[in-house]
């Protein structure tokens, strides 16, 4: 039988079609999202059907549905029988691998270790042979339970405030402040941050009203089928701490100065009292002489009574003459007086003008 060039062509085409047909495959993943708990290892399913070997194919894992779909992020690349890491994104470094034994069976699943917040999202698995390619996607939902909310007191402009902070969450939780009756308080917008592993840190502040002293910071994280709730109560001491120290200082200062003031008053009163007592003592002594009712000589004394004016030039320096000129008392210190020849120096005497001698240690009143 003779082969024409057209027959040859037909056989060749048939052969090529057969070959191409034998390499046709479908890539399958999972229609259900993979729920990944932070820190765990997960498998992102992907396999080809029929189960031909994928060892010689190109297996490309990357992130999709990012803000800019053109700039897909490379997660893992297997090509020419080897893993290629040159353009792998940094956050996946050292955490991805394929199952090499499974590749022979068309299993191109990806293992991702130590799941973190940044891993949350949609992944595409693209498998490409020399003549054919197909892909499938899989959704990864990361779940991280963070720390219990922590409350601290904060000084704020025009008063005191409370700050509630909670860390390590995925997805982002909500914070709210409640008063002692469980009523939501209006606070400013909550602050949200993500750490380098993509976990959320949330913060919420409120100014403290003096009318209330029990506050609750409530955190809520909505997950697919459940809501995780955590609460931290904060009791403010009846006197706000910041103001407390100030009033105590002021009170101490007031009490201190009041004490000093009272002591000064007391000392002055005592001093006045002592001085007054001295005067009264003198007066009492003087009255004794005048009121010598039982004294039989009283009348005689009165009969001979004379008005005496004291001679200041003769008074012992310790004797204090009163301005009236007819009274004196003995002081404790020597007064600085001119040293007259007629002045008594050793005994506490004074002469009356006209020659009467008066002893300074007894007291007399003259009329």
Residue of 206, 216, 213 whose CA lies nearest to 238: 213
* Contact with ligand NAG (CB under 6 A) among 109, 118, 166, 363: 109
Task: Judge contact between 337 and 324, C-beta under 8 A.
Answer: no
Minimum Å gap between C-beta 108 and ligand NAG is: 8
CA atoms within 13 A on the CB side of 155: 3
* Contact with ligand NAG (CB under 6 A) among 105, 318, 327, 330: 105
Position 30 contacts ligand NAG (CB under 6 A): no
Minimum Å gap between C-beta 46 and ligand NAG is: 8
Position 102 contacts ligand NAG (CB under 6 A): yes
Residue of 140, 132, 177, 146 whose CA lies nearest to 64: 140
- How open is the CA angle 25-29-35, to the nearest 5 degrees? 175
Structure tokens at 331: 């002081």
Q: Which residues make Cβ contacts (< 8 Å) with residue 352, sequence separation at least 6?
A: 308, 309, 310, 311, 358, 366
Position 43 contacts ligand NAG (CB under 6 A): yes
Q: Which span (44-52, 117-125, 154-162, 337-345) binds ligand NAG, by CB under 6 A?
A: 44-52
Closest to ligand NAG by CB, 25 or 47 = 47
Distance from C-alpha of 223 to C-alpha of 49, rounded to nearest angstrom? 34
Closest to ligand NAG by CB, 30 or 278 = 30
Position 314 contacts ligand NAG (CB under 6 A): no
Q: Which span (104-112, 253-261, 267-275, 282-290) binds ligand NAG, by CB under 6 A?
A: 104-112
Closest to ligand NAG by CB, 78 or 344 = 78
Minimum Å gap between C-beta 105 and ligand NAG is: 4
Residue of 164, 177, 167 whose CA lies nearest to 145: 167
Minimum Å gap between C-beta 92 and ligand NAG is: 18
Place of tokens 């308080």: 185
* Contact with ligand NAG (CB under 6 A) among 107, 116, 216, 221: 107
Closest to ligand NAG by CB, 112 or 204 = 112
Closest to ligand NAG by CB, 22 or 51 = 51
Position 133 contacts ligand NAG (CB under 6 A): no
Q: Which residues make Cβ contacts (< 8 Å) with residue 131, sequence separation at least 6?
A: 19, 20, 23
Q: Which span (105-113, 130-138, 182-190, 264-272) binds ligand NAG, by CB under 6 A?
A: 105-113
Distance from C-alpha of 159 to C-alpha of 308, rounded to nearest angstrom? 79
CA atoms within 13 A on the CB side of 147: 13
Distance from C-alpha of 360 to C-alpha of 278, rounded to nearest angstrom? 15
Position 363 contacts ligand NAG (CB under 6 A): no
Position 25 contacts ligand NAG (CB under 6 A): no
Position 47 contacts ligand NAG (CB under 6 A): yes
Length of the chain: 367
Q: Which residues make Cβ contacts (< 8 Å) with residue 277, sequence separation at least 6?
A: none
Interface residues with ligand NAG (CB under 6 A) are 43, 45, 47, 51, 99, 102, 105, 107, 109
């Amino acid at each position: 039988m003779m082969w024409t060039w057209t027959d040859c062509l037909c056989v060749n085409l048939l052969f090529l079609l057969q070959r191409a047909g034998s390499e046709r495959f479908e890539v399958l993943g999972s229609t259900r999202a993979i729920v990944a708990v932070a820190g765990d290892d997960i498998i992102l399913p992907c396999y080809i059907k029929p189960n031909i070997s994928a060892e010689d194919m190109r297996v490309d894992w990357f992130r999709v549905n990012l803000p800019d779909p053109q700039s897909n992020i490379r997660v893992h690349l297997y090509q020419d029988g080897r893993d290629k890491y040159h353009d792998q994104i940094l956050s996946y470094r050292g955490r991805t691998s394929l199952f090499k034994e499974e590749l022979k069976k068309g299993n191109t699943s990806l293992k991702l270790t130590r799941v973190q917040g940044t891993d949350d999202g949609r992944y595409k698995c693209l498998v490409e042979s020399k003549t054919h390619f197909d892909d499938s996607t899989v959704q990864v939902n990361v779940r991280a339970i963070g720390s219990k909310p922590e409350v601290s007191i904060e000084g704020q402009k025009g008063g005191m405030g409370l700050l509630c902070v909670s860390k390590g969450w995925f997805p982002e939780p909500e914070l709210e402040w409640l008063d002692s009756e469980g009523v939501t308080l209006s606070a400013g917008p909550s602050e949200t941050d993500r750490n380098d592993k993509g976990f959320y840190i949330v913060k919420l502040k409120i100014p403290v009203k003096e009318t209330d002293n029990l506050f609750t910071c409530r955190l809520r994280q909505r997950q697919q089928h459940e809501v995780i709730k955590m609460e931290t109560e904060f009791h403010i001491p009846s006197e706000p701490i910041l103001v407390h120290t100030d009033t105590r200082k002021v009170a101490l200062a007031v009490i201190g100065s009041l004490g000093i003031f009272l002591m000064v008053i007391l000392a002055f009163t005592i001093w006045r009292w002592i001085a007054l007592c001295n005067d009264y003592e003198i007066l009492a002594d003087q009255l004794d002489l005048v009121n010598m009712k039982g004294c039989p000589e009283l009348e005689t004394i009165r009969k001979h009574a004379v008005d005496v004016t004291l001679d200041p030039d003769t008074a012992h320096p310790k004797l204090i003459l009163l301005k009236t000129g007819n009274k004196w008392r003995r002081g404790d210190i020597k007064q600085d007086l001119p040293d007259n020849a007629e002045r008594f120096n050793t005994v506490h005497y004074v002469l009356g003008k006209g020659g009467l001698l008066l002893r300074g240690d007894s007291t007399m009143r003259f009329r």
